[in-house]
Structure 1
Amino acid sequence: MMSDAKTPLASPEGAAPSKRSLLISIGAAAATAIVITFAAVLPAEYNKDPLGLGRLTGLSRLWAPEEVLVAPAAAGVPAAIRQPAAFRSDTFEIPLAADGDEGRRNALEFKVRLPKGASLVYSWQADGLAIPEDLMFDFHGHTVAADAKGGPVSVADYEKSSGASAHGSLTAPVDGIHGWYFRNRSAQPIKVRLKLSGFYQLVPSGEEGNLPGIQPVGATPAAVP
């Protein structure tokens, strides 16, 4: 005998999925897209790795900015130069008498030795100067006359001006001594506090460039190279 129970009919082929199935599929696709974006696209294309997966998988190494080649030398001087002397830093106090001093101690020259291509950074400030224009300075360098052996002396002018302070850097264009001539034109004695850092050497006391015998603050003559 045939049973009266009704057997459920199978869904016909090509029937549209239910709304629940569609929502699950869309959600899964969105989640996958988000994971791919944070784990692969951001590290590889934008150098951003919020999940840390780019670093672990190596994808972050795929990102690189456009490279533009820059000339490593300017005016015939290489950008990177090895120096024979060690880097050093010193502070100097340069006293200048008032204008009209009988011994003309209101003006002096102080320089350091620099080989061609060597650099230094400087900063100086005049203490006790009421009017900045009363301090005149001439920043320059030149080869040493004693080394010229009758030949010409090469001179390089960097800055001639007046003021109470100056800050900057220098890359020596010639082997020689480089520094400042200061002249106090005020009615009061002043002191120039000079800070240097770089690949320079000190000029011994009494020699050209340091006739007054200026020494670093806190140093003794025997300890100064």
Structure 2
Amino acid sequence: MQRQQFDISKAPAQPLRADPRGRTMDAEGHIRGVEASSGGLIRATLGSAAAAGAILVLFWLPAEYGIDATGLGRVMGLTQMGEIKQQLYAEAAAEDAALAATSPTVVATSSDPEVLDRLVAIETQVAAIAAIVGAERAPETPEVAVAAPAEVEAPAVAAAEAPVAPVWRDTWSFTLQPGEGIEAKLRMQEGEQAEFEWTANGAVLNHDMHGDGSGQEISYEQGRAVPGQAGILTAAFTGNHGWFWRNRTEAPVTMTLHVRGEYERLLTP
């Protein structure tokens, strides 16, 4: 029995079938894509825009700017987060503006040729006066040393020069964590004066001395990276007058405040 040879050219051709991903092949084996209509593209674009708008209004605006048009952001806690961010941005901008406003004045004053010449002249006059006074008092020094024995005079001098610690009416301390702020105020009548002293105990703090009350507000002084401050606070009107501190460092800072003088009471958290 004779075997027949198989000729592949005479094999039946396989019919074209649809590609499982929605694409078909033509007779030459080229893949044809699905044609999209203009209406379908418009609907897809409008759908994407609507989704983006919903995300913008419901989530992004409350979380970044504290703007909550629907009320959903406050329920989810996003509005509070946005309000805190805006407050921090405003504080940082105010600190940078205050620093920028003071820096040019310092540079201009120190680089003024006329001011420098006057400072040099003053220093020369002071040095000359000191030399004259020293020359006139030189002969008197031995006489004082002989007339006053050291063992008798030493205790009296030491007692006269011993520093007297101030007696404060109120003292308050608080430890601020990095980024944390705290406020303390004095209840004062208009025109009353209170002496104060606060320190960051070796660190630095940003501070704002201000007041509010009787429908008025005032900012007395602001500072950035300040180790401490002392002075007298005079109430511009009846109300609460005091300080706000914020720790902008990366470590905890303990602030200590001392006050005395004319005020009703110290208000602290």
Task: Report if TM-score (shorter chain) is over 0.5.
Answer: no
In terms of fraction of residues, the more strand-rich structure is 1
In terms of fraction of residues, the more helix-rich structure is 2
Question: What TM-score do you get using the length of structure 2 for normalisation?
Answer: 0.36
Question: What TM-score do you get using the length of structure 1 for normalisation?
Answer: 0.42
Structure whose CA Rg is larger: 2
Structure scoring higher RCO (CA < 8 A, sep ≥ 6) equals 1
